[in-house]
Structures are given as structure tokens and as C-alpha cells.
Structure 1
Amino acid sequence: MQNKEFRVLEIPKWGRYLRGKWLENFANHLSKQEQKEIYLESFLWHLCSYEKVTCFEREEAIRAFERQKKSRCTIFYQFTNEAFLVQNAKNLKMKDLPYDEWDWNYTDIYVMDWENKWTFVITHETDIGLGPYFIQKL
């Protein structure tokens, strides 16, 4: 993420914590059994693909994310504990995200605002229509 506008801080080992916060904030309406039935422990974005939450998908999700007011947000992944805090993120776009389609550890990426009111998700299955997704808490 090389952009003079953003202030990006690495927050090593925060991935597990942020995945837990994501579950707490966006999937807390599901019981543990319901979470298990949609394999949420494998991929958080199954919340969207199994239609267990209202969300925008594909181009609509990208537009919603890019129009969203952003000041601070976190970026984390499904399979690694690396994470980032982005400050002054008002112009953060999808193209700015540290996503690597060739490295499995960096193919499922989650962006969550600091106040946990919205999240944007890019999946490793985007090429077949599963994602990106955008969820906004009401």
C-alpha cells in the first residue's frame, strides 16, 4: 500500500484478534451451530455467500466500499495473522488493497472500519462471482 495520503501501520499478530472482532460484529446473530453449518470457521465470507446477512455483492460492493466515508480501518486476512491499520483512509480504493491472487495467505482480505460498522471482503473466489462483498451494520 504505497500512497502518500494513507498512513499505514503494520499491526503484527492482530489477524486472529481482528477475525474475532469481525465475527462478533457481523455474525453475532448466528448461533455457534449455524456458524458451523456454513463453515464460518474456514471462511468468514461464507456469511455472505450463504446469504446469512444483507450485503452488497460484486460491483455494487466495490462501489459501496469506495463511496463509504473512511477515516481509520483495519486490513487483515483469512490465513495469516498479519494486519494493518490505515489512517487517513478517506480515499482508500480497492486497487490500493494489499491483495495477492497468487499467494494463498493473501487471497481472502477483509477491510473493517475502526468502529466496526462496515466491512469489505475480497475472496479467492471473486473470479467465479463469490465476492467482493460489502456489509454495513444498520
Structure 2
Amino acid sequence: MEKKHLKQLEIPKWGTYLRGRWRECFASHLSFKEQQEIWMNDFLWHLCSWEKVKCLKQDDAVTAFLQQDKVKCTIFYQFIDDAYLYEHADTLTIKDLPYIEDDMYYNDMYVMDWNNEWTFNMTHETNCGPYFIQRK
């Protein structure tokens, strides 16, 4: 069988939509007020750092991300509307992610599978994250 290769497609201006979808899928158990109280308007990943969802952290989060079936997933950011769609993504690793540590706009990054079953989040905070959430 032919091995499919990782394919990256830029999807400009999808950031707002994907951040909203992420909220619907992973934070809908919180009211809008509860989300505001944990500063989710600033950073979606506060859902994890404030322990408002069951999630894996640090090395456990990375391991869970690497073990996922990643047929298709999206990658988006907290502060910019650049986003990417990855197809044939089973080989996607941390090193492949378009994460720029020294750029404040690219260092709060979210990976979400196409079916919205899981998310992997990297943060600008060295003592927070990465985080991994698996929907039930």
C-alpha cells in the first residue's frame, strides 16, 4: 500500500471560526460568564490551566498527541487568523507544527482533529502546558 504524505494547506481567515468551534467542542460545559471568569477571552487554554476540564499535561499531553490517529486536523492560533489544514497527518509530530516560540502571535497554538474529538494546545507560558483534551 502506498504511504500518503503529510499535506499542509493554508486556510487564511479561519482563525475566528476555529476558535469558536474549539469553545463549542471543549468548553461548552461552562457558561459564558464562567468562561470570562477564567479569562478564556484572553487564552482558550485557560480552560486547562484553571482545571475546568479533564486534560493531560506536559509530557503526557505530548504522548497522547503523538498517539492519535491524525487523518486530518486543523492548526490555529490565539491572536491571528492564520490557520492550516493538515491532511494525511498520521506522521505529524511536534517538530512539524508551525509554532514559533519567540513570536507572541504564533506561540499560543491549537491543534484540533477534523472531527473535533481531541485538541493539543501549546502555550507561551513555560510552566503551563502543553495540554491535551480528549472528548468523550
Structure 1 unaligned blocks of 5 or more? none
Aligned to 1:45: 45
For residues 104 and 56 of structure 1, the distance between their equivalents in structure 2, rounded to whole angstroms, comes to 24
Shift of 1:5: 2.1
Secondary structure at the residue paired with 2:110? strand
Shift of 1:101: 1.0
For residues 7 and 70 of structure 2, the distance between their equivalents in structure 1, rounded to whole angstroms, comes to 13
Shift of 1:78: 0.3
Runs of 4 or more off by more than 6 Å in structure 1?
A: none
For residues 81 and 114 of structure 2, the distance between their equivalents in structure 1, rounded to whole angstroms, comes to 18
For residues 109 and 47 of structure 1, the distance between their equivalents in structure 2, rounded to whole angstroms, comes to 14
Shift of 1:51: 0.1
Aligned to 1:69: 69
Residue type matched to 1:55 in 2? Answer: C
Structure 2 unaligned blocks of 5 or more? none
The 5 Å alignment of 1:1-138 reads 5-125=5-125, 127-128=126-127, 130-138=128-136
Identity of aligned pairs, percent? 58
Listed one character per residue, the Cα deviations across residues 26-71 of structure 1 (whole Å, up to 9, x for unaligned) are 0000001100100001000000000000000000000000001110
Shift of 1:102: 1.0
Q: What is the RMSD of the two structures over their aligned residues, measured on CA atoms?
A: 0.9
For residues 91 and 55 of structure 1, the distance between their equivalents in structure 2, rounded to whole angstroms, comes to 23
For residues 7 and 61 of structure 1, the distance between their equivalents in structure 2, rounded to whole angstroms, comes to 23
TM-score normalised by L of structure 1: 0.95
